[in-house]
Amino acid sequence: MAELSAEVCAASAAGRENRTAQAWRTVLGWLGFLFRVLLQILQSGTPSWAQLLSFVGVRHRLLPASSSDPAFHPLPTDAPPPPPPQLRQDPLDKLTVVLDLDETLVSAYEASSVPIVVRSQAIEAGVKCFELECISMDKEVEGKQKVNHVTVFERPGLQEFLQQISEFADLVLFTAGLEDYARPLVDKIDVENRFSLRLYRPATVSTEYRDHVKDLSCLSKDLSRTVIVDNNPFSFLLQPLNGIPCVPFSAGQPYDEQLMGVILPLLKHLSVEKDVRPALYERFHMPEWFQNHGIHSSDGTSLGMGNRNFTAD
């Protein structure tokens, strides 16, 4: 019995020691908490309520998270892959657009031959026209140079067409017309001097098939970025892969939309092509067109003067 009493007393003493130790641990915990609060005040000023509550493991659901709390800025689990390296591309040379004059950009008639109804319809539709005096190669009976009076109709959209093309291409005028006629006419339609070069009939060549052919090799040896627009396909028979045949324009077509609706979009497309010839071949197949019109090469690979390449490369 005495032994049992001694064990009970020992257990009671041990329990009191444990409660005393637990109380001291609690006191030390609060002292540590107060020390961290004091340290926070000294380091960054008065802490927010959210920060004070977080010290004791409480996060109030109505309090916004602190922007400085690293728990709200987790690192992404899957970092996005780095962007692929961009391949360096050499800039393309500026496109060269060669434009025919008569029946491509304008339509010209002797003033006395234009029917009044045609002139009236064109003007009513908004077609621009003007009168021009051109020196003729013919001479009067008295030996004086003959002057022709010409009425010129601009193809609808001409000015806007030239303005937009000049933004991404070099413009060249190439006409089979004589300079005495064509120069003053071009002065009228090109008041902004958008044409970097003007070529007239003496710049054309004769071939076994046609005269007054426009040989584009006079512009450059490399024609990969050169295109010619002409209502007469035989004008570019020496470089069939560089040609765009267009519908001829006359004063009786006041609502023509070739320039802005057909030619301009095509030229914009070609302006980003490294070589215009494959794209033009796929669209027009001009070599076959020439063959169907009786123009054949002697060896099957070239056409006309100078053995120029006849196939797309």
Catalytic residue among 69, 100, 138, 187: 100
6, HSE (Cβ side, Cα atoms, 13 Å): 3
DSSP the chain: -HHHHHHHHHHHHHHHHHHHHHHHHHHHHHHHHHHHHHHHHHHHSSPPHHHHHHHTT---TTSPPPTT-GGGSPPPSSPPPPPPPPPP-PPPPPEEEEE--BTTTEEEEEGGGS-HHHHHHHHHTT--EEEEEEEEEEE-TTSPEEEEEEEEEEPTTHHHHHHHHTTTEEEEEE-SS-HHHHHHHHHHH-TT--EEEEE-GGG-B--SS-SSB--GGGT-S--TTEEEEES-GGGGTTSGGGEEE-----TT-TT--IIIIIIHHHHHHHTT-S-HHHHHHHHH-HHHHHHHTT---SSSSEETTTTEE-S--
Tokens 């001694």 belong to which residue?
A: 6
Answer yes or no: 102 catalytic. Answer: yes
- Bridge partner list, 312: none
Catalytic residue among 78, 102, 170, 211: 102
Q: Residues with catalytic annotation? A: 100, 102
